[in-house]
Chains A and B, each alone.
Chain A
Amino acid sequence: MNSLERQKEVLAAASALRWEVGPNLHDSLMEALYTDAARISDRVLTRDDQQPSFDLDRTIDRLVTSRWLGFPLMAMLMAIVLWLTISGANLPSKLLSNFFLEILYPFLKQSSNAIGLIWWLDGVLIDGMFLAMAWVVSVMLPPMAIFFPLFTLLEDFGYLPRVAFNMDRWFKKAGAHGKQALTMAMGYGCNAAGIVATRVIDSPRERLIATVTNNFSLCNGRWPTQILIATIFIGSLVTPPLAGLVSAIAVMGVVILGVACTFLVSWGLSGTLLKGEASAFSLELPPYRPPRIWQTIYTSLIDRTLIVLWRAVVFAVPAGATIWLVSNLYIGELSLAEHAIQGLNPFGLLIGLNGVILFAYIIAIPANEIVIPTIMMLTVLSAGLLGVGEGTGVMFEFNSAAATAMVLQAGGWTLLTGINLMLFSLLHNPCSTTLYTIWKETRSVKWTALSALLPVGMGFLVCFAVAQVFHWFVGG
């Protein structure tokens, strides 16, 4: 008798014996489990009779998951976190960039002159790589060091499951899984992490929906872009005391648009490519736990902030070298970068952006974090603003938003460009790490391609539409 026959025999015996033991075996076993659990817990558990008349957990839950207050409270918490991040990150950002650009950069330049470094090596190493790294550290570190601990505190406290609870109804309507709210929330930290987190969703159909739509959560690489552009173009529309608040609200608007896109695309996918019913699941609302503040700050600094920062630096350094090279390699009269910018400009202007922005997004595919410095550098280059910036192909950061605004306006930027850049930063292809993660998790070229092309397509459409409306109202 071979092993296959023996296996068959086991199954045959099992189904024969199943008749003998009766059809309710599973139920009676489960019942026995529950009876024993109840018996034992009755025996070992004593309840203090003095139940407090006021239950704090219940009261908080009633507020944060209420039909009327749930969403406004969620938006308010988000706005507070953003506002703290925007207004708190300013000063340390300035200090860091002062240190890197006004102390360290001249020092490095002098040293390289002193040892007689070849001009192109000096350019690639210091003007390209070092400045890219300096920019990423000074612009990303402070907001991340504020945003991540705040987010982790909320997570530690137990707020995330309540968010999932509030959003469940909407996800169900969109034909998606309620746990997608959790993966979405993870995406606000990092889309690649959010995509790994979709493993909590059992149904492959709903997991794919969550994977494709995760990009609509602004990741930490895009927060600085949103915050900076909102400060320059939207915050400046009002008087200074209100500027911080108005900028925070503008960023909130982009976040809410992202959530709307998540629902819309989920709904669209579950009606077309990924047809099916939303599956049921049970979500436990865990008790609130007082967060351990110092421990949370420490671990979120170590685990999230520094790891994410390191990744950004790793990607920014070669990108810095690339930028320097494309701006210093000439074909005919123009550098490679200028050729590309001029080629992309007509299409860019059509959708209310410009060639610089589109080219910056191509260079910055490895990491969203370096979009803004790339844009700044390319703007200076193409607008020929002599006397501003450090030189051809040098990435730099201005110490104040006002100086940045000056350069951008000289480069032909308008309010429309700012708004559309914020929109395009939300709606464009995920970074290469995220794409690689999608491929690794789904093992499907098709879904990876869709995850990349769908948001870019949406970005082009939305920017085009906004540009048309803007021109219609404002003229020009």
Chain B
Amino acid sequence: MNRADLSSNCETCPAHHAANLKKLGVEMERYDYVVALAGNPNTGKSTVFNSLTGLRQHTGNWPGKTVTRAEGGFAYQGRNYKLVDLPGTYSLLSMSTDEEIARDFILFGQPDVTVIVVDATRLERNLNLVFQVLEITDRAVICLNLIDEAERHHLVIDDRSLARELGVPVVPAVARQGQGISLLIQMVAEVAIGELTCKPHRIQSESPVLKRAIQSLVEKLQVAFPGLPNARWVALHLLEGDPRMEEAVRSGELGNLFGRSALSQLEALPEVVS
């Protein structure tokens, strides 16, 4: 399908998209975009993954189920998307293997869109990871999952204000029932194609001294690793004294990490044992 096919009114109508979704399972020969699924543990990433791909990744109500790489695909409006379910993490500070997998993928694999699944009943704590992802990438969509649980606990979340504050689309969802999934797909597609540009929230408190320090370090990084994506982020973490980043610079691993395409980043993830 090409762009011309989309011209009919029906096709462009947002209400049509559920019918447009083709769940491709693991049969992904070629794909146009890579979408990463990030989020805190036990927020329903695997459930979102399953409802998008039609796969049956094991789900359950306990944190830490997804320890293996899970990838699948879906097609929407004639484009193929590869979806990668990352291990759930509370932060991207690489305190453990799963955090490192998630961080390296978002940082260096440069997915076209990162969907951050957020537990609506634990919004404040979940925002921590959201900010850390938004520091790395511009192209993100928030899936505000478990809003039924939030309602049960008498919590009301103004998703429009949240979207305004974060600068990225926010889609309220109940993934277990399939609610909100079609809107999520539409948002992912719009961000991937570039119809929708995000202006993500960034941490404000940057002193002039820090700004200058980051600037000069970014220049040095770009000399040492030409074409390094997210040099600003790496610089900030070097200034913080993140030992993992220092090691990546010292060993030159940083060059290898970003040199890979998103696909080969996937291969670096642990394999599934069946």
Task: Please indicate whether A and B come from the same complex rather than being unrelated chains.
Answer: yes
Where the two chains meet, the residues of A that have a C-beta atom closer than 8 Å to any C-beta of B are 3-4, 6-11, 13-14, 17-18, 20-22, 25-26, 28-29, 32-34, 36-38, 40-41, 43-48, 50-52, 152, 155-158, 160-161, 164, 179, 182, 192, 196-197, 199-200, 202, 282-284, 286-289, 292, 299, 302-303, 437, 440-441
Shortest Cβ distance from A200 into chain B, in angstroms? 4
Per-residue contact bits, chain B 220-245, to A (CB 8 Å; 1 contact, 0 not): 11011000000000011011110000
Report Cα–Cα, A292/B161, bound state, in Å: 32
Closest Cβ of chain B to A182, distance in Å, is 6
Q: Do A196 and B67 contact each other (CB < 8 Å), given the known contacts A36-B201, A160-B61?
A: yes
25 contacts between A and B (CB under 8 A): A10-B238, A10-B249, A11-B249, A14-B238, A14-B246, A25-B239, A26-B240, A29-B203, A29-B240, A32-B203, A32-B204, A33-B128, A34-B128, A36-B204, A43-B165, A47-B154, A47-B156, A156-B60, A156-B61, A160-B61, A161-B61, A197-B67, A284-B42, A299-B56, A440-B273
User: With a CB–CB cut-off of 8 A, which chain A residues contact B159?
Assistant: 44
Between B68, B166, B221, the greatest number of chain A beta carbons within 10 A of the residue's beta carbon is seen for B221
Q: Is the CB of A17 within 8 A of B155?
A: no
Q: Report chain A residues within 8 Å CB of B157.
A: 44-46
- In the complex, the answer to whether A182 meets B62 with C-beta atoms within 8 Å is yes
Minimum CB distance partner of A298 in chain B: B56
> Are A40 and B162 interface neighbours, CB within 8 A?
yes
Closest A-chain residue to B242, C-beta based? A26
Q: Is the CB of A41 within 8 A of B213?
A: no
Mark B residues whose CB is within 8 Å of A: 41-42, 56, 58-64, 67-68, 90, 95-98, 121, 123-125, 127-128, 131-132, 149, 153-159, 161-162, 165-166, 176, 201, 203-205, 207, 209-210, 213, 216-217, 220-221, 223-224, 235-236, 238-241, 246, 249-250, 252, 255, 270, 273
Given A156-B61, A196-B67, check contact A7 B249 (CB 8 Å).
yes
CB distance from A149 to the nearest CB of B (A): 13
Task: State in angstroms the CA–CA spacing of A199 and B269 once bound together.
Answer: 12
Q: Would you call B63 and A286 a contact (CB within 8 A)?
A: yes
**Extra inter-chain contacts (9) besides given A13-B220, A36-B204, A37-B127, CB under 8 Å:** A10-B220, A26-B240, A44-B123, A44-B157, A44-B162, A157-B61, A161-B62, A282-B90, A284-B42
**Residue of chain B at shortest CB distance from A179:** B64
In chain B, what residue has the closest Cβ to A299? B56
A21-B239, A46-B158 known; A7-B224 Cβ under 8 A: yes
Most A CB atoms within 10 A — which of B121, B213, B217, B241? B213
Pairwise interchain contact A7-B252, C-beta atoms closer than 8 A = yes
Return chain B residues, CB-CB under 8 Å to A36: 127, 131, 201, 203-204
Contacts of A9 in B (CB 8 A): 220, 224
Per DSSP, are chain A's interface residues mostly helix, strand or loop, or mixed? helix
Q: Which residues of A contact B209 (CB under 8 A)?
A: 20-22
Do A200 and B67 touch (CB < 8 A)? yes
Are the C-beta atoms of A441 and B154 separated by less than 8 Å?
no
Q: Which residue of A lies closest to B164 (CB)?
A: A44
CA separation between A6 and B226, bound complex, in Å? Answer: 11
Chain A residues near B56: list those with CB within 8 A.
299, 302-303
Rounded to whole angstroms, the CA-CA distance of A30 and B261 in the bound complex is 30
- On whether the beta carbons of A286 and B61 are closer than 8 Å, the reply is yes
With A33-B203, A36-B201, A46-B156 as contacts: A6 and B223 at CB distance below 8 Å? yes
In contact, B217 and A13 (Cβ under 8 angstroms): yes
Query: A37 near B124 (CB under 8 angstroms)?
Result: yes
Check if A199 sits within 8 Å of B239, measured CB to CB: no
Q: Which 10 residue pairs across A and B have the least CB separation, nearest first?
A: A48-B154, A199-B67, A6-B224, A158-B61, A37-B127, A200-B64, A41-B124, A155-B60, A14-B238, A202-B96
